Structure 1
């Protein structure tokens, strides 16, 4: 027997795994249990304004389908090659609303792959670790996100008036934008303060100030 025949035989034997019906059912049952666990954790972890029940149902069903695909790939090299070719032409175009949704989507797919490979303990431990981290990180206090102060004034010299006010109420500030028009000047200022109402009231008393807005955002903080 030549080396080519030996390699061919070893490859074919490696993909000719025969699994009993009970083994397949057991794998799918474990996958279903973990899928329902992910379904429940996503509902607890998601904010109500971003929660989508359809997306959550997708997370619960996807591990079962993924596990079934992995089981099929282990049965035959012909099926595995055909499955790879079929899945390579699939394109998913759905906007992810939150980075946490991307995490749960990857978690769901990973659970199906791990269960399909028969590594049940690894799948369970992974689910527990991801759950602990997802809830634990919510309790870690992060620095306060900066505020955005939007100033609109018909007085182009207003900057000399409100900068002393910012020095009194803000821990630190940075002018992000100056927009000068024929009607006046607009500012966008990034700052941090604990006395938001005091800052707004002090700025509103300035002469020549048309409007002022204080916005909060969850952008990245750069030092």
Structure 2
């Protein structure tokens, strides 16, 4: 028997074996899909709790659950049938996803959901659970604590050479970093990145009370401008 005949025989045997749904196979599928659904809902909840953006996207969070379940289904199908695996490789190679991911953390959650689906589909439940525990620790310690407080972009328009110094003195203990300073005739535009640990914006009133300040604008900053 040459290599070509052996390959044909292997494909045929794989195809025939996949057509027989034994009780063990059905039980394996039910357990894997149930575990994928539970862990997908767990990822959904973690995303909801630690979401640090401006507007929570329920559709994206639901996508995480669906991604986990569907990836598990694909892994189960590929692992039991070489014919289906070759077909899926060809089908998935022509798929193009053009939805822009603005927050890098959203990309992390997507890969987390896909990874959990693959490991559960491969019956590696301990690995999937261990990864979930480590991811929660990672997000809580390295990202969530860093996100405490709010970052704003403050834009101040004023006149006078010394007014800018008065604005900076009015900031007092508020952490800030100057981003730009633009001179337009007698009017100056100063842009500061401001870090506030609380929701209190009393410093805005102090700045607005300065005589030559024309207006003050505070914009929430999260990697992009949100008006």
Q: What whole-Å deviation, never above 9, does each CA across 1:136-170 have from its counterpart, x for those lacking one?
A: 335635798776443334x5xx2x22243256345
Computing the radius of gyration from Cα coordinates, the structure with the larger value is 1
Please state whether the residue corresponding to 2:184 is helix, strand or coil: strand
What residue in structure 2 maps to residue 211 of structure 1? Answer: 215
Alignment counterpart, residue 182 of structure 2, candidates 178, 182, 188:
178
Q: Does 1:165 align with 2:166?
A: yes
- Residues 113/147 of structure 1: CA separation in 2 closer, same or farther (3 Å cut): closer
Q: Give the distance between the partners of 2:60 and 2:191, measured in 1 at CA.
A: 38
Structure 1 segment 79-90 matched on structure 2, within 5 A: 79-90=84-95
Structure 1 unmatched ranges of 5 or more: none
Deviation at 1:115, TM superposition (A): 1.1
Deviation at 1:203, TM superposition (A): 6.3
- Residues 128/88 of structure 1: CA separation in 2 closer, same or farther (3 Å cut): same
What residue in structure 1 maps to residue 68 of structure 2? Answer: 63
Q: Does 1:52 align with 2:53?
A: no
Q: Give the distance between the partners of 2:67 and 2:102, measured in 1 at CA.
A: 19
Deviation at 1:72, TM superposition (A): 1.6
TM-score normalised by length of structure 1: 0.71
Q: What whole-Å deviation, never above 9, does each CA across 1:20-55 have from its counterpart, x for those lacking one?
A: 222222222222222232233233233595323333
Alpha-carbon contact 1:166-1:173 (below 8 Å) kept: no
Alpha-carbon contact 2:11-2:83 (below 8 Å) kept: no
Say which is worse superposed, 98-107 or 11-20, in terms of deviation.
11-20
Alpha-carbon contact 1:150-1:214 (below 8 Å) kept: yes
Structure 1 segment 78-117 matched on structure 2, within 5 A: 78-96=83-101, 98-117=103-122
Please state whether the residue corresponding to 1:83 is helix, strand or coil: helix
Q: Give the distance between the partners of 1:172 and 1:42, measured in 2 at CA.
A: 29
Deviation at 1:88, TM superposition (A): 1.5
Alpha-carbon contact 2:71-2:117 (below 8 Å) kept: yes
Deviation at 1:125, TM superposition (A): 0.9
Please state whether the residue corresponding to 1:20 is helix, strand or coil: helix
Alpha-carbon contact 2:170-2:207 (below 8 Å) kept: no
Alpha-carbon contact 1:169-1:193 (below 8 Å) kept: no
- Residues 187/85 of structure 1: CA separation in 2 closer, same or farther (3 Å cut): same
CA RMSD of aligned residues (A): 3.9
Please state whether the residue corresponding to 2:162 is helix, strand or coil: helix
Say which is worse superposed, 75-84 or 161-170, in terms of deviation.
161-170
